[in-house]
Structure 1
Amino acid sequence: MEQRNWLRELVEATLIGALVFVAIQVAVVNFRVEGSSMNPTLMPGHYLMVNKLVYFQLDTGRLGRIIPFWRPAEPRNAYLGRSPHRGDVIVFDYPRDTERQFVKRIIGAPGDTVAIANGSVSINDERLDEPYLKVRGNTDYGPLTLARDEYFVLGDNRTGSQDSRDWGTLTADHIIGKVWVVYWPQSAWGLLR
C-alpha cells in the first residue's frame, strides 16, 4: 500500500511539474541582448525575461462560437492583458527576417504622428520626454502617421541603432512580448519599467 501511495504522489508531482513547465513556456521567453542599440537601458550580454501573455490577443469571434449563449457584439481581436504602449521595451521578430529578434522601445502607437527633428522626437506635435537617453543624435524623420496596427520603435542608443527610422514601422503580429526582468548579470537584476 505504501508503494502505491508513493507512486501516486510521484505521478501527481510529475504532472504538476509538467503543467508549470508548459505554463512558463507559454507565458515567458528568455532573450539575450546582443548589440548596443538599447544602451544605457540594456547592455550586450544582459539576459531578459519577456512576458508574452501581456499582449496576447483573443479572437472574440472564434471564442463566441465556442462558448454557448455568448456572442460578441463586434467580433475582433482583444488583448488578454493590454495593448502595447508608448515607452514599453519589447522583443519582436525583425520584419525583414523573422528568424531574427530585436529589442527596442515603442515610441509611437497606432494613430500617432511621429516626427524627429535634430534628434528630438515629437508625438502628435508634442515633444517626447525621454529621460532614458544619454545622447539624442541629430536624426530628422517624418512626420509619419501610424496606421491602426502599426508601431514606431527606436533604440535608446539613437546613434547606434537600426530601427523604424531605417526599416519602417512594426505591426502588432511581429511583437513577441514586453521585457519584464533583467535577470543576468546579477548586478543588473531588476524589473524593467
Structure 2
Amino acid sequence: MENKRSKRKWLIGIVGIVILAGAVLRWVVLQPYLIPSSSMEPGLAPGDHILVNRLSYRLWSPNRGDVVVFAFPKDIKRTFVKRVIAVEGEKVELKDNKVFVNESPIQEPYVKKGDYPPYGPEVVPAGKVFVLGDNRRESEDSREWGLLPKDYLLGKAWLVYYPFQRFRFISKTS
C-alpha cells in the first residue's frame, strides 16, 4: 500500500514538472501567433498559425532574411510579421521592383510578384532594421512607418504548425 502511494506521488510530481516546463517553454521560449493578413504571402498565408522563438533576439542579432514578429511602432499593443531586409550599417534601396542592399540586388525567391514604388536609398542606423512584407503591394512596413527599432523585436518566426497541410519550418528562402 505504501509503495503505491509513493509511486503515485512520484507520478504526480513528474506530470506537474512536465506541465510546468511546457508552460515555461510556451511563454518564455516559444509563442504562438496567427497570421491575420496577406502581407507575407505566398510564404505565410492568412490563417497560418506560427511558433516564434522569443529568445532568439535576446541572444543574437537579426539577420537579413529572418522572418520576425515585432510590436508595431505606431501601436505597440499590435504585432506584425515581416522579413528583415537590411540591418545596421547597410544601405537599402528599392527600384525597378528589386531590392538593393549596399547597391547589389538581393535574391528574393519568397516575394509575391507585382509592382511596388521606389524607396531610398537609406542607410540603416545602429539599433534598427529595415523590414518588408513578402507581398509588397499589400504590406504596411518600413517604407511607410520607418525603420524598426531592434528593441521592438519579439522573436524569430520558426514554424508553421497549422493548418497541417502547410506544416513546415520557416527559412530565409521561404
Q: So what's the TM-score if we normalise by structure 2?
A: 0.92
Determine whether 1:24 maps to 2:26.
Answer: yes
Determine whether 1:143 maps to 2:82.
Answer: no
Q: State the SS of the aligned residue for 1:38.
A: coil
| Distance in structure 2 (CA, Å) of the matches to 1:142 and 1:172 | 20
| Distance in structure 2 (CA, Å) of the matches to 1:159 and 1:14 | 48
* 1:73 matched residue in structure 2: none
* 1:164 matched residue in structure 2: 142
| Distance in structure 2 (CA, Å) of the matches to 1:147 and 1:180 | 26
Q: So what's the TM-score if we normalise by structure 1?
A: 0.83
Q: State the SS of the aligned residue for 1:99.
A: strand
Unmatched segments (≥5 aa) in structure 2: none
Kept after mapping to 1: 8 A contact 2:112/2:136: no
RMSD: 1.3
Which residues of 2 match residues 20-99 of structure 1 at below 5 A? 20-56=22-58, 79=59, 82-99=60-77
Q: How far did 1:171 drift?
A: 0.9
Kept after mapping to 2: 8 A contact 1:120/1:136: no
For residues 107 and 136 of structure 1, do their structure 2 counterparts lie closer, same or farther at Cα, with a shift above 3 Å needed? farther
| Distance in structure 2 (CA, Å) of the matches to 1:41 and 1:144 | 27
Identity of counterpart residues, as a percentage? 36
| Distance in structure 2 (CA, Å) of the matches to 1:171 and 1:123 | 19
| Distance in structure 2 (CA, Å) of the matches to 1:134 and 1:94 | 22
**Count of residues in correspondence between the two structures:** 169
Which runs of 4 or more aligned residues in structure 1 lie more than 3 Å from their structure 2 counterparts after TM superposition? none
Kept after mapping to 2: 8 A contact 1:91/1:179: yes
Unmatched segments (≥5 aa) in structure 1: 57-78
Q: Deviations over 1:62-101 (max 9, x none)?
A: xxxxxxxxxxxxxxxxx2xx21100001111000100000
**Structure showing greater relative contact order (alpha-carbon pairs closer than 8 Å, 6 or more residues apart):** 2
